[in-house]
Amino acid sequence: MKRAHQQHRHQPFDSILAALSVDLLIQILERVDDPRDRKAWRLVCRDFLRAEALHRRALRVLRLEALPGLLRRYAACLDLLDLSACPGLGDHALATALFAGAGSWLLKSVSLSRASGVGWRGLAALAAACPRLESVDLSHCVGVGDREAAALAAAEGLRMLRLDKCLRVTDVGLAKLAVGCPALENLSIKWCLEISDIGIELLAKKCRDLRVLDISYLKITNSSVKSISSLGKLEVLSMVGCSNIDDEGLQFLDNGSNSLRSIDVSRCDNVTASGLTSVIEGHICLQKLNVGDCFPELAPLFLSKLNGLKDSLTVLILDGFQVSASSLKIIGVNCKNLSEIGLSKCKWVTDEGISELAAGCVNLMSIDLTCCRMLTDKALMAIGEQNKKLVCLRLESCSLITDKGLEHIGTGCPNLEEIDLTDCPITDTAMKYLSRCWELMILKLGLCDKISSEGLVHIASNCQNLRELDLYRCIEVTDDGLAAIATGCSKLQKLNLCYCIQITDRGMKHLSCLEDLRDLELRGLHHVTSLGVTSIAIGCRRLTELDLKRCNLVDNVGLCALAQYTGNLRQINISYCPVSSMGLCKLLGTLKCLQDVKLVHLTHVPVEHLELALRAYGGQLKKLKLFIGLRDLLSPWLIQMLHARRCRIRWVDKPLVFSP
Amino acid sequence: MFKASAKMDFKLRRPLEASSNASSSMMSEISRNLKPGLPFIPCDSTNICYGARQEQSFSEFPPPQVTQCHGLYAREQKTETKNQLEPSSAVNDLVMDWNPRLMLSNLSFLEQKIHQVQDIVRSIISQEGRANELAAQQQLVTADLTYIIIQLISTAGTLLPNIKNALLSATPVAQTGVVANLPVNASQKHHEVLSVELAKASEYDELIKDLNSGGEGDELIKCLNNSVAEVSESIPIEDHDIKDYDDGMDGENLPPGSYEVLQLEKEEILAPHTHFCLICGKGFKRDANLRMHMRGHGDEYKTAAALAKPSKVASSEPAIIRRYSCPFVGCKRNKEHKKFQPLKTILCVKNHYKRSHCDKSYTCSRCKTKKFSVIADLKTHEKHCGRDKWICSCGTTFSRKDKLFGHVALFQGHTPAIPMDDAKVSGMSDHVQVGETTNGMVANMGYNFSGNASDDAQSLDIKDVDDGQGYFSPMNFDACNFGGLDEFPRSAYDVSESPFSFLSTGTCSFIPRNGEN
């Protein structure tokens, strides 16, 4: 596309449209997938830009200041607007931006997740401006309360709503929504701790079309389950950590409606096998069953009841159970269609059991064996031989497995996309085997201290789709390994290099060609200097999270480079770095998107300058980490102001120690 | 019929004029007798004022004959009753320093009053015949007699100890149907019956005799009982069940006859004190307090025996279950009622009577709308008043969230209003609130108010209302009686249909309201 750009640059614009109508342009555009290519397309000419504007359905705004212009351009056709990266977005800004669309909004879905600045006025404006609004995400807007819910309730057509961790929403707000949006199908009120049985009861009475409901961690009792059981269309019910609900409550679900497809009762301490059997009996089409951390032992009764679900059940999560080989065998026999099983932290999971399971459930795509410490290569062999469709395998802390086991996985599971080998005693040979899984996207090798650059070369040679790589404390990894990764895995988005102490600026230079890199952790890299950080800043423009804690050589120069180039940076940790006032002021004064800043033990920054820098910050800080000693030294006015702007300050009470 | 009533009016005038004279003379006497700074005086004077104004405003009426007749009568009666009632309440108030002179003047006035009634009765006898008139006169007599009773009892109440139980538990004498020549004969008979019962209440008689030098007291009691009897007999018992409060009796199914029924009289129920010092006349709510008080009257009351709780002599006959009847005829708690449900204790009687048949004179100081007749109810309400933070979008308020949510679930489109912060809530009562929460409520209230006002204005069709006397304008007065705001219960003799309707209801209900304003 860049080539196309160059070709068309010098031609008169009308000639392009003469040859290619807008329709055709859009047809072409539909075949351009990569966002980078699309960006190039936009830059070709106005007509291309216009065509792109007509074609675009979704928009994610990364910087607040661009919002009005973007909306003016894309207002007409946009379906989805994602404002989750704009914590500074206020009511006024939102209302003004929506007004720019001049009533022609076709928006169906708006995400305001973590956009904690939006209040009821903004939501009222949103509901008024977008008559077709169907989906709103307000999760993690901790300030959202009843007023906001009431404002949102004006959107009658709302079908999907996420209110996760909207801490101030009470029964009243829920009632407003239930009455105002009767068409609601998908609702999440996870962590809305103020909501009680009364609100749930009204919700169940008013929103009869609910299909998906998440009531996790609410302090609700069995009577809520009773009212929920009256929802005839309910398919997905999540009630994680509802410890007031017990078997008696679950029995209400066995009312013959047979609509549930998925139920999650993990961490419900008072739920036992008998309650679950009643759920299973009542909903024989159940596809997903999550009973993690409920009760310690798998009762035979429960296992035999699984037989009733044998055709439908695809997901079974049994985290934290005592699962013997025999019970895994029963599961293997009963649930032939199982595609995902979770056995994380299960005791007594043996090779024998896994072999039985793998033999029974050949369609397994995801297996979670985190902390099943008794497993050896035999289990992996069974999996590799039986489960050809495996996509995800988690083996964290399975300390008995070796490279040999992974050979079976590498050869047997070509579709593998995700593997977690954190804290497993594997070597570069294992990497060689795994490199056969060329679709690998997520690879976690934290604490595998035998992995060296050689292993990374294997991976980089074949796994071009790698998105996420965790090399936490892989102390053997050197710059060469990074060079291989940077060239081989160009789509890498997340990289953890914490305490890979051999890495130097040269490695950083290699990494700087990873244009997609969003999240980079460089904690404790003693050889990386400001130069390395500068090259990263220049190369990885999309960087949003950067951890430089205890990078003892990174100083003002690095910070200035970051301030200049990484405009999208949202989280930064420069604790213990020898930066001075100038760099800090530059960083905080320039970057506008920063939300989470950790500034513990900046020994070269006097208190006055720190205060000045914090005052100079123009964006919306959400989290700030400071040394506790500063609490009394910083002016109360500043702290007050930060609190008033909804910034949470975490005071760290750690003495200054220079060795990691 | 109009003519007849007009005639009757002429006949009535003489005695009434006399009574008004009497009242005025009495007023002067009272004001002479009482020291100027006494608490009741201002209150009294407003009422007098009111009476005068009332007169003026009524004179502004376009005078059709019948109303004229009403008006005249109403005016006179009103001034009279007012003047007479007030001293009585004053007497009640003045229990602390009881004034025998005042008592005497009261009694002598009562005497006059009784003579008047006698006159009317005589005129009834001489007239004989026409039922309409008779009924009207009868009402008049009953009204006067009740008034006398109230006076008498309240006067006597300042003096008397617990004698009344015996007096009032007297079973009504069966005397139905003798309406025509009822008053005299009935009273005689009845008195005979009663006097037997009263024998045990010798203290009462003696006391009265001492105070009133001779048989006057006796005569008064005669009349009193007479009227009571008449009242309870002459009205057919109706079946209007007044909404029952929990008076502690529901669910108890004692077979009729297995218990003794006592019926306290209205005045006794309403008396502030039930225990009275025989020496100084001071009243007490509790016997224990009286006993404590008695110590001050001499050493003989300081003995352990005198101070001890009076031992229950009645325990020798434990089988008798005592239950109480409400004196309000037609009430379900009245023993004449078909489905009579007795009240368990005297306290139940008191609360029941006040709640069901009395004016609700205690207004909540916070919301200014809720009224109660039992002060404890007011206190209970005041504890929760203003905490009705659960408000529906329709303006209905609830004290409990689940009730609100039940309401919301029931009605389409209703939503709970968002509760204000505490600061805002407190401000709410003072200022007109912006926002949905209270708008509905305020609007509702406003609507009610204006609705009533306009209704009254229409029904009365008064053009000139003296603004300077806003509170006491006839409109306001009538709003009290006819606007439906006032829940003054109809008295036992339901006279709402008679031409004298507001003699009985209006005069009584009017006073507290006026004082409130």
- Pair B327, B353: CB distance under 8 Å: yes
Which residues from A are below 8 Å from B405, CB to CB?
171, 175, 198-199, 201-202
Instruction: Report ipTM (2 d.p.).
Output: 0.84
User: Cβ contact (<8 Å) for B405 and A199?
Assistant: yes
Lowest mean pLDDT among A18-32, A317-331, A512-526, B129-143: B129-143
Q: Give the end-to-end CA distance of chain A in Å, rounded to a whole number.
A: 46
User: Cβ contact (<8 Å) for A175 and B415?
Assistant: yes
* pLDDT of B189 higher than 60: no
For testing contact with chain B, the best of A147, A156, A171, A172 (most B CBs within 10 A): A172
- Pair A438, A413: CB distance under 8 Å: no
Among the partner-chain residues A147, A150, A198, the one whose CB lies closest to the CB of B405 is A198
Check residues A467 and B142 and name the one with the higher pLDDT. Answer: A467
- Tokens 């309650």, residue? A275
Rounded CA-CA distance A466/A438 in Å is 9
Residue A609 tokens, joined: 């300058």
User: Cβ contact (<8 Å) for B409 and A201?
Assistant: yes
Asked if B409 has any chain A CB less than 8 Å from its own CB, the reply is yes
Segment A293-327, tens digit of pLDDT = 888 888 888 888 888 888 889 999 999 988 889 89
Check residues B88 and A427 and name the one with the higher pLDDT. Answer: A427
- Pair A469, A443: CB distance under 8 Å: yes
Segment B50-97, tens digit of pLDDT = 433 444 444 444 444 443 434 334 444 444 444 444 444 444 444 445
Residue type at A300 in one-letter notation: P
CA atoms within 13 A on the CB side of A254: 14
- Pair A149, A127: CB distance under 8 Å: no
User: Cβ contact (<8 Å) for B416 and A176?
Assistant: yes
- Pair B74, B503: CB distance under 8 Å: yes
For testing contact with chain A, the best of B392, B400, B408, B436 (most A CBs within 10 A): B408
Check residues B278 and B246 and name the one with the higher pLDDT. Answer: B278
User: What are phi and psi for residue B465, nearest 5 degrees?
Assistant: -110, 125
Q: Searching chain A, which residue's CA lies closest to the CA of residue B411?
A: A179
Rounded CA-CA distance A261/A315 in Å is 10
* Confidence at B461, pLDDT banded by 50, 70, 90: very low
3-state helix, strand, coil in chain B (%, to 5): 60, 5, 35
Residue type at B158 in one-letter notation: T
pLDDT of the residue at A242: 93
Asked if A173 has any chain B CB less than 8 Å from its own CB, the reply is yes
Q: Searching chain A, which residue's CA lies closest to the CA of residue B402?
A: A198
Check residues A159 and A98 and name the one with the higher pLDDT. Answer: A159
Residue type at A398 in one-letter notation: C
Rounded CA-CA distance A424/A446 in Å is 9
- Pair A385, A410: CB distance under 8 Å: no
For testing contact with chain A, the best of B392, B404, B418, B436 (most A CBs within 10 A): B418
* Confidence at A571, pLDDT banded by 50, 70, 90: very high
- Pair A318, A292: CB distance under 8 Å: yes
User: Cβ contact (<8 Å) for A198 and B414?
Assistant: no
Asked if A124 has any chain B CB less than 8 Å from its own CB, the reply is no
Asked if B414 has any chain A CB less than 8 Å from its own CB, the reply is yes
Rounded CA-CA distance A513/A523 in Å is 20
pLDDT of the residue at A373: 92
Rounded CA-CA distance B208/B165 in Å is 17
d(CA A104, nearest CA chain B) in Å: 28
- Pair A528, A505: CB distance under 8 Å: yes
Highest mean pLDDT among A177-186, B123-132, B279-288, B492-501: A177-186
Lowest mean pLDDT among A152-166, A194-208, B181-195: B181-195
User: What are phi and psi for residue A478, nearest 5 degrees?
Assistant: -120, -175
* pLDDT of B9 higher than 80: no
Q: Searching chain B, which residue's CA lies closest to the CA of residue A151?
A: B418
User: Cβ contact (<8 Å) for B409 and A202?
Assistant: yes
* pLDDT of B294 higher than 50: yes
Among the partner-chain residues B409, B413, B416, the one whose CB lies closest to the CB of A172 is B416
Residue B441 tokens, joined: 């409520």
- Tokens 């025999």, residue? A326
d(CA B283, nearest CA chain A) in Å: 52
Average pLDDT across chain A, whole number: 90
Segment A532-569, tens digit of pLDDT = 999 999 999 999 999 999 999 999 999 999 999 998 99
Rounded CA-CA distance A437/A463 in Å is 7
Asked if B52 has any chain A CB less than 8 Å from its own CB, the reply is no
3-state helix, strand, coil in chain A (%, to 5): 40, 15, 45
Whether the model clears a pTM of 0.90, i.e. scores above it, the answer is no
Asked if A199 has any chain B CB less than 8 Å from its own CB, the reply is yes
At residue A290, the 3 state secondary structure works out as strand
Which residues from A are below 8 Å from B402, CB to CB?
198
Which residues from B are below 8 Å from A202, CB to CB?
405, 408-409
Lowest mean pLDDT among A353-362, A566-575, B159-168, B265-274: B159-168
Rounded CA-CA distance A384/A375 in Å is 14
Asked if A119 has any chain B CB less than 8 Å from its own CB, the reply is no
Average confidence (pLDDT) over A345-351? 91
* Confidence at B315, pLDDT banded by 50, 70, 90: low
Which residues from B are below 8 Å from A176, CB to CB?
415-416, 418
Which residues from A are below 8 Å from B415, CB to CB?
150, 153, 175-176, 179-180
Asked if A150 has any chain B CB less than 8 Å from its own CB, the reply is yes
The contacts of residue B186 (CB under 8 Å, 6+ apart) are B173, B175, B178, B226, B229, B230, B233
User: Cβ contact (<8 Å) for A175 and B418?
Assistant: no
Asked if B419 has any chain A CB less than 8 Å from its own CB, the reply is yes
Among the partner-chain residues A147, A173, A179, the one whose CB lies closest to the CB of B408 is A179
Per-position DSSP letters for A162-190, written without gaps between them: E-TT-TB--HHHHHHHHHH-TT--EEE-T
Among the partner-chain residues A147, A175, A205, the one whose CB lies closest to the CB of B416 is A175
Segment A367-419, tens digit of pLDDT = 999 999 999 999 999 999 999 999 999 999 999 999 999 999 999 999 999 99
User: Cβ contact (<8 Å) for A198 and B402?
Assistant: yes
Which residues from B are below 8 Å from A153, CB to CB?
415
Task: Please report the beta strands in A471-573, taking only residues with DSSP state E, as ranges in sequence order.
Answer: 494-496, 519-521, 545-547, 571-573
Residue B194 tokens, joined: 């009663």
CA B219, chain centre distance (Å): 24
Among the partner-chain residues B401, B402, B413, the one whose CB lies closest to the CB of A179 is B413
In chain A, residues 202-221 whose CB comes closer than 8 Å to chain B? 202, 205-206
pLDDT of the residue at B160: 55
pLDDT of the residue at B55: 40
Segment B206-226, tens digit of pLDDT = 544 544 444 444 444 444 444
CB atoms within 10 A of CB A356: 21
pLDDT of the residue at B440: 36
Between chain A and chain B, the number of residue pairs with CB atoms below 8 A apart is: 37
* Confidence at B454, pLDDT banded by 50, 70, 90: very low
Average confidence (pLDDT) over A259-287? 90
pLDDT of the residue at B31: 42
Which of the 8 DSSP states describes residue A221? -
Residue A273 tokens, joined: 């096998």
Rounded CA-CA distance A147/A172 in Å is 9
At residue A572, the 3 state secondary structure works out as strand
For testing contact with chain A, the best of B402, B405, B421 (most A CBs within 10 A): B405
User: Cβ contact (<8 Å) for A173 and B408?
Assistant: no
CA dist list (Å): B417 to A167, A373, A633: 19, 55, 45
Residue B50 tokens, joined: 């009111």
* pLDDT of A272 higher than 60: yes
CB atoms within 10 A of CB B299: 8
User: Cβ contact (<8 Å) for B409 and A147?
Assistant: no
CA B23, chain centre distance (Å): 21
Segment A101-114, tens digit of pLDDT = 666 678 899 999 98
* Confidence at B115, pLDDT banded by 50, 70, 90: confident
Segment A157-194, tens digit of pLDDT = 999 999 999 999 999 999 999 999 999 999 999 999 99
Rounded CA-CA distance A635/B352 in Å is 66
Rounded CA-CA distance A411/B343 in Å is 92
User: Cβ contact (<8 Å) for A206 and B409?
Assistant: yes
Check residues A496 and A142 and name the one with the higher pLDDT. Answer: A496
Rounded CA-CA distance B220/B49 in Å is 31
* pLDDT of B299 higher than 90: no
Asked if A146 has any chain B CB less than 8 Å from its own CB, the reply is yes
Check residues B381 and A160 and name the one with the higher pLDDT. Answer: A160
Asked if B408 has any chain A CB less than 8 Å from its own CB, the reply is yes
User: What are phi and psi for residue A233, nearest 5 degrees?
Assistant: -100, 0
- B467-470, Cβ contacts within 8 angstroms, sequence gap of 24 or more: B469/B53, B469/B57
* Confidence at B129, pLDDT banded by 50, 70, 90: low
CA A410, chain centre distance (Å): 27
Highest mean pLDDT among A6-20, B319-333, B431-445: B319-333
- Pair A654, A626: CB distance under 8 Å: no
Asked if A198 has any chain B CB less than 8 Å from its own CB, the reply is yes
* Confidence at A35, pLDDT banded by 50, 70, 90: confident
Which residues from B are below 8 Å from A146, CB to CB?
418-419
